[in-house]
Structure 1
Amino acid sequence: MMSAPRLSLRPGEPGDLSFLRSLAPRLVASAPPWRRQDDLLAEYDVLFAAALTDPEPDSAVLIACADGQPVGFTLLYWHPHERGVFVKDLAVSADAEGQGVGRFLLDAVERWGRHQGAVEILLKTSWFNGRARDFYTSLGFREDHVALVLRLEE
């Protein structure tokens, strides 16, 4: 029987850019068919680079490591007017899936948020990503808003 990896947490740094980029396809895999995955991936390139090299105030990139190697991350923002933490992205490598990394990251988000004075954690996931929705529901998240999108032709 394999033992669970020893997980640790650290802040993201510019050298983590290739790791974050390697997980971007997992973030867009459940996008609706009318979204262009290449466009989404290009947007993540820009977002991740900025988050690691020129972060917005009150934002954080947290990296989960198993035995010292990165296996997941979350990108989050503090919204003081709403007293909430917004989880922009959370992804776990395929090899680490099912080993508690997602739960570990959300525990870190909760600690980070409580330190900021948050009263809630907000996140979005694709309607088409039933697995993620089930995971978040199992941790106590409840559906609140429904986002509707009208795609304008470019």
Structure 2
Amino acid sequence: MTQHLSLREATPADLPFMLSLAPRLTVTAPAWRDRDALTADYEDLFTGALHEPEEGSAVLIAQDGEGRPLGFTLLYWNPKERSAFVKDLAVTGEAEGQGVGTFLMEAIVAWARARGAAEIMLKTSWDNTRARAFYERAGFREDHVALVRRLE
């Protein structure tokens, strides 16, 4: 499938597509997390990223040869640390296992290199073994362990 993929910058019209993938980003969250609340939080995040993007950030859409979006990534640039941060990367269920994630990862690497990045960082749920294996194949290595204590 990758031979028919193209990449473009997202527009505000992509918000419904991105929101449709929010449940895929939260499905492997730890059981103690409120997955519905996490999914709902993506509306503000994605709306901001598309309508009032942070300086140096980008939302990239992978699409098929007919222009149908198949996945996206939300990226942030930290010039002081020369570091790119992958906030989110998601593909549709239909596109899973078809090379779309790899296509997006290649775009992320190119985006980071174009800015002179020394590294790319990302986070994923510990229980998301499929994503962890994907990122390992893409050259990522474990670095930090994040622990969270909810204050209610």
TM class, shorter-length: over 0.9
Matches of residues 2-151 of structure 1 in structure 2 within 5 Å? 6-67=4-65, 68-151=67-150
The one-letter amino acid paired with 1:17 is L
The CA deviation at 1:5 is 5.8
Identity %: 62
Q: Per the alignment, do residues 36 and 100 of structure 1 end up closer, same or farther by CA in structure 2, a change over 3 Å counting?
A: same
SS at match of 2:58: strand
Gaps of 5+ in 1: none
The CA deviation at 1:152 is 1.4
Relative to the length of structure 1, the TM-score reads: 0.95
Q: Per the alignment, do residues 97 and 5 of structure 1 end up closer, same or farther by CA in structure 2, a change over 3 Å counting?
A: farther
- The CA distance in 1 between the partners of 2:142 and 2:2, in whole Å, is 31
SS at match of 2:94: helix
The CA deviation at 1:4 is 5.6
Relative to the length of structure 2, the TM-score reads: 0.96
Q: Per the alignment, do residues 4 and 77 of structure 1 end up closer, same or farther by CA in structure 2, a change over 3 Å counting?
A: closer
SS at match of 2:84: strand
Work out whether residues 19 and 70 of structure 1, in 8 Å CA contact, stay in contact via their aligned partners in 2.
Answer: yes
The CA deviation at 1:44 is 0.3
Work out whether residues 105 and 138 of structure 2, in 8 Å CA contact, stay in contact via their aligned partners in 1.
Answer: no
The CA deviation at 1:42 is 1.6
Q: Which runs of at least 4 in structure 1 moved beyond 4 Å after TM superposition?
A: none
The CA deviation at 1:107 is 0.6
Equivalent residue pairs, number:
151
Work out whether residues 2 and 100 of structure 2, in 8 Å CA contact, stay in contact via their aligned partners in 1.
Answer: no
- The CA distance in 1 between the partners of 2:3 and 2:85, in whole Å, is 27
- The CA distance in 1 between the partners of 2:151 and 2:31, in whole Å, is 15
- The CA distance in 2 between the partners of 1:149 and 1:75, in whole Å, is 23
